[in-house]
A = this chain, B = another copy of it.
Amino acid sequence: MSESRDIIYIGKKPLMSYVTSALIQLANQPKISIKARGLSIGHAVDVAQIIARKTENAGYAVGNIKIGSEQMQSQDGRSRNVSTIEIEVKRTNS
């Protein structure tokens, strides 16, 4: 079973484009995960909150939230830790 279509990775695109992608995926499956790392973590929270707020009655809600760290190689060859977040968004009636 492939899980990859259930995940939205937050990057540098405008917020609403992630909201749209997330809503399209939520039309097809009961839950998705919104993932981000580093400076995009705040945007992942924004996307989850926009979906939860705009569909309050419809409706989707925020589920489990996990945080973690990943080791990344920086350009000078040293490795450093980057924080990550994973926010579950799911149908409230499922």
Contact = CB atoms under 8 A, between A and B. Distances in A.
Interface of A: 38-42, 45-46, 48-49, 53, 62, 65-69, 81, 83-85, 87
A62 B81 CA distance: 17
A68 B83 contact: no
Given A41-B42, A41-B45, A42-B42, A81 B65 contact: no
Q: Which of A53, A83, A84 has its CB near the most chain B CB atoms (within 10 A)?
A: A83
A67 B42 contact: no
A83 B53 contact: no
Contacts of A48: 67
A67 B81 contact: no
